Amino acid sequence: MSDGTPADLFFDAAIGLLQRVREEEAEAIAAAGTLLADTVTAGGRLFAFGAGHSSLAAQDVVYRAGGLALMNLLAVPGVVGVDVTPATLGSALERVDGLASAVLDTSPVRAGDALVIISLSGRNALPVEMALNARALGVKVIGVTSVAYTSQTKSRHASGTFLKDHCDIVLDSKIAVGDAELTLDTIPAPFAPASTVVTTALMQAVMATTAATLADRGVEPPLLRSGNVDGGHEWNDRVMREYGDRIFYRR
């Protein structure tokens, strides 16, 4: 590790990754925003899914001040974060064949909807199967993943494929395999993960693109306002009434 405090070096690494995705993923971000806008104008519903820490970026766009009211979390019990005990159970469930099928079969997701699937490695059975089955249902799939894993690891799905192989659009987070940006001679393992910073930024860039695309088409984007500003709750109540049939986190 070169000169600078660990904090400085982490910020440098994160900023460098953000700059890369800004430049290298611009076309994919635009395409993803357009796909979501197309889904909204066609009457479809929007969903986001992530397992483990990848779930954080999915949760960040659901019921979010300044965000699209139509983004719904497709939750899989036991894999949404580290609230399950033991936390290692969540990692194990990501490798279970058939779990994604059960989730989709009992979810409100249907043909004409759009689903964003976030998985850093994209190698586990759950995200791969989720993408495969969603597309078979007629759902458009956007994958947010690190493409580096496809050349440096093996798939854990029976097909031998990765999440990126079953998406309409792929956003590459550029995160290195292992998700740790820093090393020190005094520390035996690499440390300081940046995937949440970068993936969340990618998701918000897509949301911003979606909102602007809708506005360009003369459609008021169904955005939420903070409940901590005057009039925020009234604004949100109006949006939720208007789009209540496409909002599932309030039911």
Which pLDDT does position 107 carry in this prediction? 95
Mean pLDDT, 10 residues at a time, the chain of 251 residues:
84 98 98 98 97 94 97 90 84 87 94 97 95 97 97 94 97 97 95 97 98 97 96 96 94 77
d(CA 157, CA 199): 23
Instruction: Dig out the tokens for 24 from the structure.
Output: 């290298």
Q: What dihedral do alpha carbons 70, 34, 67, 46 form, nearest 10°?
A: 20
Which pLDDT does position 2 carry in this prediction? 58
DSSP E strand boundaries for the chain:
46-50, 71-73, 114-118, 140-145, 169-172, 182-184, 187-191
Residue 219 exposure: Cα atoms within 13 Å on the Cβ side: 17
Residue with tokens 């990848």: 54
Contact 60, 215 (CB under 8 A): no
Residues 6+ apart with CB under 8 A from 75: 49
Residues 6+ apart with CB under 8 A from 40: 46, 70, 210, 214, 219, 222
Which pLDDT does position 84 carry in this prediction? 81
